[in-house]
Amino acid sequence: MRTSKARLRMLLAVAVCLTAAAIAAVSVDAPAQAAAAPTVYNIDLSTEFRRPREIGGKAVPNSQSAAHVPAAGVPRPASTPVSGDTPGLGLSVDGLNLRDQRTADNGNQFSLEPPDQALCVGGDRVLESVNDVMRFRGLGGETLGGVQSLNKFFIGDSAIIRSTPPVYGAFVSDPKCYYDPALGRFFFTVLSLDRDAATGDFTGRTDVRIAVSRTSTPTTDPAGWFIYRIDTTNDGSNGTPANPDCPCLGDQPLIGADAYGFYVTTNEFPLFVDGFNGAIVYAFDKAALTTGTLRMTLVANRPALAEGPGYSIQPATSPAASEWDTSNNGTAYFLSALDFDATLDNRIATWALTNTQSLTTATPRVTLRNAVLPSQVYGQPPDAEQRDGPTPLADATPNAFTGKPGNGPREHLNLLAGNDDRMQQVVLADDKLWSGLNTAVKTENGNVNVGIAWFIVDPTATATTVSGTIVNQGYVAVNRQNVMYPAIGVNTAGEGVMTFTLVGRDYYPSAAYTPIDAGGTGAISIAGAGAAPADGFSGYRFFGGSGTERWGDYSAAVADASGNVWLATEYIPGTFGFPPFLANWGTRIMRVTP
């Protein structure tokens, strides 16, 4: 878990929201007099650039666990080769990007970083989403309809209406989606924070929105979905628990499912003061959600884990109904990391929720337990260097935005945020749990870089116990480069693919993948080569950054009914940028046959 203001800076503060009208139509004035005068971009930054009120410093409490490894213990794995081949790659197309995000809803949107990637596949369509838009595709990669804003879909408002004065909508973030192989329905979630329409300030009310499609062939029209609002304010009002220092935010909702339940976990932060309360685990009668009925159970309110609070407890999804564990009257599994002080650790945790069939009754009685497993070392990653190249936004000096005379200081090439070492998405397939996370690694000829630690766990649960064995684990690392934000998709045969961003002194941010199975991983393939450096506002000091640009907090991967694995991750397509857009990120969607 990231320390001191980092996570909420990711979500709310450094994820700077830039208002819209001028970005959509930036005009360039000819120099008034001398030919050497700087180009001036007529962007009124008093309305073009808006940073929501920052929620206070967010830190997971430090621990002094003897399990923590000294800094000298940073893992030193052998480098993974980068291949020029793309085995199994059947589809590779550009997904949603900053331009799509900014121009949706007739331009009544902010510009956002990072995107965060949702992707799920079912029937004849693919749902893709990022902050803060969504779109459907066909299985051939073709788009099915246009881009829809998440504000319009989930809430019915606009992120901002640029009237005089402007009108602010809810703050929406962190999309996730899932297709249920038994029910044939799409499940789609976001978090949202209410804002004062006149000022844009947070009111203190927060929630998680859950959309469930009414059919197996939905569109972006909300009329085709049941949409539920789960209050996460947790200040004792509206039937919520009275947790410390709330009103609170249920940050980065994570989702999963088993035969009977749909699960959402959050990380709870006080909204207006410093602190971290821990994870919250919610369970829902899955089938009831598909009929318009909300049956919710608060499973765990800030559960303890070893010497610290549980955080980022990742529920598992499965590629097919045959993979679900129906023992113990239904068992759902989760994984999480244990690096409580943002250094290094050599443990992970497996969790089991038993008696999940009771979620379908009027009196649910589920039990959540965890077990700590010794693991390979992983730890807080650094920020990532990227290959130098054209950065038109960085090159636009401050006076180019303000029109003031003189030569303002130029920006340096952004680093990309390595974030932290929380567990990424989890898959239950071939009776095993598969996941990975960002970690610090020391490569052969370089400094400490960002790498990936992956884990394959054989979980065991009874009505009263949970345990597990790590059947394999390892690293993906590239000499003097960085690989970041893994997502693993696995089919019912135990054949998987991991996607991530590859970036470093020799690579622009690129969409990459590697095969994975119970025996380990293979060479890295590049499905979408980055065309330029990331050149986004969230890193530049002129826009309030610190030299490190926000990158996606997570990628996405999922196996379809045919055993193919669909992947989505962030990269730089090079097809747009400044001007007129103040960032140039995009996503790449891939389909790989393991």
Give the whole-angstrom CA distance, residue 141 versus residue 91.
Answer: 7
- In 144-235, where does DSSP find H-type helix? 150-154
Is residue 172 a contact partner of residue 165, using CB atoms and an 8 Å limit?
Answer: no
Indicate the range of 162-166, 478-482, 486-490, 561-565 predicted with least confidence: 162-166
Segment 326-354, tens digit of pLDDT: 999 999 999 999 998 888 999 999 999 99
Two tokens at 504? 């470093």
Top pLDDT among 23 and 498 is at 498
Two tokens at 479? 């000499």
CB atoms within 10 A of CB 244: 14
Beta-carbon contacts of 474 under 8 Å, excluding residues fewer than 6 positions away, are: 77, 376, 453, 454, 520, 521
Two tokens at 567? 């992947």
**Residue 53 φ then ψ, to 5°:** -55, 130
Q: What is the Cβ-side half-sphere exposure of residue 452, based on CA atoms within 13 angstroms? A: 30
Segment 400-418, tens digit of pLDDT: 776 665 556 678 999 999 9
Give the whole-angstrom CA distance, residue 174 versus residue 176.
Answer: 7
Residue 376's closest CA among 2, 52, 76? Answer: 76
Segment 528-582, tens digit of pLDDT: 999 999 999 999 988 888 999 999 999 999 999 999 999 999 999 999 999 989 9
Segment 65-103, tens digit of pLDDT: 344 556 678 999 999 999 999 999 999 999 999 999 999
Is residue 477 a contact partner of residue 483, using CB atoms and an 8 Å limit?
Answer: yes
